[in-house]
Amino acid sequence: MAMMVKYLCCCEWIVLCNLLLAVAVSSKSHGNPANDLVDIINRNRTTQRLSQLNNSPGLGCMALQYVEECKGNCTTNNTVNCQPPEDDFTEVFAPNCGVELPTFGIISGHIVGCQHKYLEPSEAFSLVLVQDKKSLSLLTNKTHTEVGVGLIRAHRGPYFWCVLFSSSQTNATFVLENLGEGIKQKKGCYSGTSIPCSSGGPKKSSVFLNNIFIMGFLYIYLLQQLLH
Ligand SMILES: *[C@@H]1O[C@H](CO)[C@@H](O)[C@H](O)[C@H]1NC(C)=O
Ligand SMILES: *[C@@H]1O[C@H](CO)[C@@H](O)[C@H](O)[C@H]1NC(C)=O
Ligand SMILES: *[C@@H]1O[C@H](CO)[C@@H](O)[C@H](O)[C@H]1NC(C)=O
Ligand SMILES: *[C@@H]1O[C@H](CO)[C@@H](O)[C@H](O)[C@H]1NC(C)=O
Ligand SMILES: *[C@@H]1O[C@H](CO)[C@@H](O)[C@H](O)[C@H]1NC(C)=O
């Protein structure tokens, strides 16, 4: 009998661990809206028979740096009034991200947008970032090869997005030192990485907590079954 209980216990644990793993994996893929936005950009391009753009973590990290500087400049009309100096790319953004300067490529365009309420990536794409001719022509430019997205929320304030395009011809551009391990991402999120958004990013999903709750419930239920 004791053997039997032990055996069941073991099975329960295996089931529980598998479920937890599944939850962890599924919540991870929803953790980074910057990557979702890159996917949306690429889907829009490929349906127009344009090339897919490489998702560059180096560009993504600099896009996040860019919106960091714009955090105070969202008008009541949700337009961004922000012009960081060009030199900031090489003098501020790249060093902050640990982009190896010899690999700094060609930036071929950027789109910045803000919105006072949180939007899903698909809404941010069509309602904020690509809603005029200028941004549409940037999105569909044939010379781009790489893309990076950063997003951040100003303290209790509006949400900011930045898309950076590059037209570098090799794929060894905007290389992050140490594969980006050294970046201390305090706020927001950027594309090209599996790191989910940190505090200050878009609203945290409560899916994970929900799942923990369900798991807890399930576990108690299983225990009860076992003891009867
Ligand atoms: C906001 O939009 C209104 C109407 O389009 C315009 O009259 C006003 O100047 C805009 N304000 C700002 C700060 O852009
Ligand atoms: C943000 O707006 C202020 C006031 O209009 C302006 O002085 C400043 O240069 C802007 N910041 C950037 C990075 O453009
Ligand atoms: C595409 O981007 C390149 C490089 O930034 C620019 O020279 C060119 O005019 C753009 N093409 C279109 C159709 O906008
Ligand atoms: C690409 O995005 C633009 C801007 O949202 C939209 O007008 C256009 O219909 C999209 N194209 C495709 C093929 O999805
Ligand atoms: C770079 O491009 C080459 C050829 O296009 C490809 O074989 C290689 O896998 C790419 N490397 C990376 C890191 O994407």
pLDDT(4) > 80: no
1 pLDDT band (50/70/90 cuts)? low
Per-residue tokens: 34: 């910057």
209 pLDDT band (50/70/90 cuts)? low
**219-223 own/partner pairs: CB under 8 Å, 24+ apart:** 219/16, 222/12, 222/15, 222/16, 223/12
Q: Give me ligand 1 centre to Cα 5, in Å.
A: 71
pLDDT(10) > 90: no
The predicted structure's pLDDT at residue 19: 52
d(CA 61, CA 59): 5
28 pLDDT band (50/70/90 cuts)? very low
- Find, among 45, 36, 47, the residue nearest to 144 by Cα: 45
pTM: 0.76
The predicted structure's pLDDT at residue 104: 96
Pocket of ligand 2 contains residue 143 by CB under 6 Å: no
pLDDT digits (tens, 9 = 90+) for 75-116: 999 999 999 999 999 999 999 999 999 999 999 999 999 999
Atom 9 of ligand 3 has which residue's CA nearest to it?
141
> Which ligand is nearest to the Cα of residue 124, counting in written order?
4
Ligand 4 pocket, mutate which of 123, 127, 129, 130 (most atoms under 8 A from CB): 130
Of 211 and 144, which is predicted with more confidence?
Answer: 144
Pocket of ligand 4 contains residue 44 by CB under 6 Å: yes
Ramachandran area for residue 221 (φ above 0: left; ψ -120 to 50: alpha; else beta): alpha
pLDDT(196) > 60: yes
Q: Give me ligand 5 centre to Cα 91, in Å.
A: 28
Q: Give me ligand 5 centre to Cα 171, in Å.
A: 6
Pocket of ligand 2 contains residue 82 by CB under 6 Å: yes
Q: Which of 17-21, 44-48, 92-96, 120-124 has the lowest average pLDDT?
A: 17-21
Pocket of ligand 2 contains residue 79 by CB under 6 Å: no
pLDDT(210) > 50: yes
Pocket of ligand 4 contains residue 42 by CB under 6 Å: no
d(CA 32, CA 192): 9
